[in-house]
Amino acid sequence: MKRAYILIIFLAILIPIHAQGGFQQFFNESMSTNRTGMYVLGGWALANLATGATGWAKADGSAKYFHQMNFFWNTVNLGIAGYSFYAFSQMEPLRMSPQELMDQHMLYEKLFLINAGLDVAYVGTGFLLRHLSAANKKRPDMLKGYGSSLVLQGGFLFLFDGVMYFIQRDNRLDFLGDMHLGLVPGGAVLRFAHLF
């Protein structure tokens, strides 16, 4: 009976220590992927702000509105990227439990998936605006330009969010597949194949 208590105490100490280290590495890789994604989004935003401002000033007709919407849309994208970097810097993963680390990762996965669904709506709205522009006598250029911009921006974001979701999902599945509970002399230990 005494040995059973010692085994339980041993497991209660060893499993969280090994689990914490494995989850920390997993979460660090997850955050590295998110940072790379935000660099991509921020770069896209900056490129669109530059070309959008130039096109808005120089173009005419629907092209003017296309560039105008690209400019407006990417002020939001740049804000999202900037806020994300700020939020990442405020995290203290070393103070988080394995469950909190996994919950945070899952939140990002869900956000990318939800955003991919919204991106489809943006593209659909863009095609609708382009369609409506043909019959509109007051602002056909604006509807066509804005619609074309929504198709472009929504298409890019759908690709971006979809790729980010699948990368993060695959990372999670690989990590969970690498976890093994193994027996060692005198007890058991949670091992991660990529750490040992």
Following DSSP, what letter does each residue of 154-185 receive, concatenated? HHHHHHHHHHHHHHHHHHHHHHHHTEEEEEET
For residue 56 the two structure tokens come to: 């808005």
**Of the candidates 165, 59, 186, 70, the residue with the CA atom closest to the CA atom of residue 118:** 165
Which of helix, strand or coil describes residue 60?
Answer: coil
Instruction: Give the model's confidence band at 181: pLDDT under 50 very low, under 70 low, under 90 confident, else very high.
Output: very low
pLDDT the model gives residue 166: 97
Q: Is there a domain that residue 79 lies in?
A: yes
Average pLDDT, the chain: 87
Q: Is there a domain that residue 42 lies in?
A: yes
H or E element that contains 189: strand 187-192
Q: Is there a domain that residue 58 lies in?
A: yes
Q: Inform me whether the pLDDT recorded for 106 exceeds 80.
A: yes
Instruction: Give the model's confidence band at 50: pLDDT under 50 very low, under 70 low, under 90 confident, else very high.
Output: very high
Tell me the residue range of the domain where 163 lies: 33-177
Q: Is there a domain that residue 185 lies in?
A: no
Q: Are 133 and 146 in contact (CB under 8 A)?
A: no
How far apart are the two ends of the chain, measured CA to CA in Å?
32
Which of helix, strand or coil describes residue 154?
Answer: helix
**Of the candidates 99, 92, 89, the residue with the CA atom closest to the CA atom of residue 34:** 89
Instruction: For the chain, give the number of residues.
Output: 196
**Bridge partner residues of 181 (DSSP):** 190
For residue 40 the two structure tokens come to: 């991509």
pLDDT the model gives residue 177: 84
Q: Is there a domain that residue 120 lies in?
A: yes
pLDDT the model gives residue 21: 62
Q: What is the mean pLDDT of residues 128-132?
A: 97
pLDDT the model gives residue 64: 98
8 Cβ neighbours under 8 A, 6+ residues apart: none
Instruction: Give me the residue label for tokens 């660090």.
Output: 28
Q: Is there a domain that residue 41 lies in?
A: yes
Q: Is there a domain that residue 17 lies in?
A: no
Instruction: Name the domain count of the chain.
Output: 1
For residue 33 the two structure tokens come to: 């992927």
Q: Is there a domain that residue 28 lies in?
A: no
For residue 20 the two structure tokens come to: 């914490």
Q: Inform me whether the pLDDT recorded for 103 exceeds 90.
A: yes
Instruction: Give the model's confidence band at 27: pLDDT under 50 very low, under 70 low, under 90 confident, else very high.
Output: very high
Q: Inform me whether the pLDDT recorded for 193 exceeds 50.
A: no
Percent of the chain with pLDDT over 90: 77
Q: What is the mean pLDDT of residues 18-45?
A: 89
125 Cβ neighbours under 8 A, 6+ residues apart: 147, 150, 154
Instruction: Give the model's confidence band at 22: pLDDT under 50 very low, under 70 low, under 90 confident, else very high.
Output: confident
H or E element that contains 8: helix 2-58
Pick 21 or 120 by higher pLDDT: 120
∠ CA 114-30-16, nearest 5°, is: 115
pLDDT the model gives residue 2: 66
